[in-house]
Amino acid sequence: QASLCFLIFLHTVLVRLLLLLVFSFLISYLILSDKKKAMLGFRMNLPQTLLLLAFHVGSSSAFVPPIFGSTCRISAVPKMVAETLPNAEAIDKSLVGLDDTAMHDVFDPTTGDSPAVARNNNGEAWVKQRARPRRNRKSGAVRAMVRENIVTPANFIYPLFIHEDDHNTAIPSMPGCERHSLSSMMKEIGEAWEEGVKTFILFPKVADELKTNLGVEAYNPNGIVPRAIRMIKDKFPDSVVCTDVALDPYSDQGHDGVVEGGKILNDVTITQLCKQAVMQARAGADIVAPSDMMDGRVGAIRDALDSEGYTDVSILAYTAKYASAYYGPFRDALDSHPGFGDKKTYQQDPSNGREALIEAALDAAEGADMLMVKPGMPYLDIIRRLKDNTALPIAAYHVSGEYAMIKAACEKGWLNERAVVLETLTCFKRAGADIILTYYAKQAAQWINEDGI
């Protein structure tokens, strides 16, 4: 129906352009001198021209549909046409005589001792079905009224990559994302803020010369993250600023913890993370988000914050962070690929589901305020498990690999980006996520606002 209305609309535009050309031809004929007419090749006299014009107006008008007040009304882009375009042909719902001229045997489901389809009091085909779920889908208004899950910009956390350069750098594996300069970061936050996105998480690209095994740059009070936090809170005091607590951006080993002999040291790493979290709180962070997956780090960070008076700083724990292949583009963005091996000794095995419940119970007991599942779409079952087993808010991270796959398919023209993204984010909400970290946060918020949700 939408395609038909669009074709009619296109036809209307082309016809009116034709009329405009003919009118221009007539005006030119009337105002040009005979000499110029001859130079331009005019061969018709005035009566002939008027006759031609009348022919075009009459024939073209006959094919111009009545746009206003018609059943195929053209509305504003992107909703090119109205949802309803009635079928011009009424259907005889009895279907009696429909197959009388068929050249082969046709099964009639309304006859026999046990008919599959009955007839109602009007003689129409009738399935004796009292409960009809389609009644709650019959119009946009009804669907909106009974909708179970609604995503709003307030549900989003917008991840932003930042670096010390005074210009932005594109991330080839994440089309549309950049490493922002601090001034560009502020501009991006301002634009997202206008769309209703008020929560942001920062990920720094750190210069190689600042990286060490112990990750001491992670708690430098003059580093890029604390400076960015102060800038954001100065200009947007009501924003919610989250920070990543982990050593991998600052590690010359490319791991989330301190390395010794090829092993990640759990307790030594936590000591460094406590320093990092307190520094971030001092800079003004509202939420710290330990993503390292060391055992016991949530409790230690909670105690460190509380002992320094930061009892109001929340902890968003990366509770079920899996050793996933979906993180590649993120590591491109931060240049933080593991220097050796992988992260399977501290991140969860993708094969395990119950293990996430162990991590959730520990994080909750240690003082986490929110629990995260990462990645998102491949782990909707884990989101649901956590939702069913804790009263804490659940966050889902729509990670870089998921983002990149959607972008790649849409660039090929295989998917409708807007529709797929909004469906994906709704799936997170339906699975149980209260919070969604997504690189689409600003763009999705724009789409949601355009739809008037």
**Catalytic residue positions, numbered:** 321, 374
Query: What span, in angstroms and rounded, lies between the C-alpha atoms of 398 and 318?
Result: 13
Bridge partners (DSSP) of residue 322 are: 348
**Sign of the dihedral through C-alpha 433, 438, 444, 445:** positive
Q: Tokens 């300069």 sit at which residue?
A: 181
CA angle, residues 110, 114, 117, in degrees to nearest 5? 30
221-245 burial by CB neighbour count: b if 16+ within 10 A, else e? eebbbbbbbebbbeebeebbbbbbb
β-pair type (240-245, 287-290): parallel
**Sign of the dihedral through C-alpha 109, 111, 112, 118:** positive
**Sign of the dihedral through C-alpha 431, 436, 439, 444:** positive
Query: What span, in angstroms and rounded, lies between the C-alpha atoms of 386 and 352?
Result: 13
Identity at 156, one-letter amino acid code:
F
Query: What span, in angstroms and rounded, lies between the C-alpha atoms of 206 and 225?
Result: 10
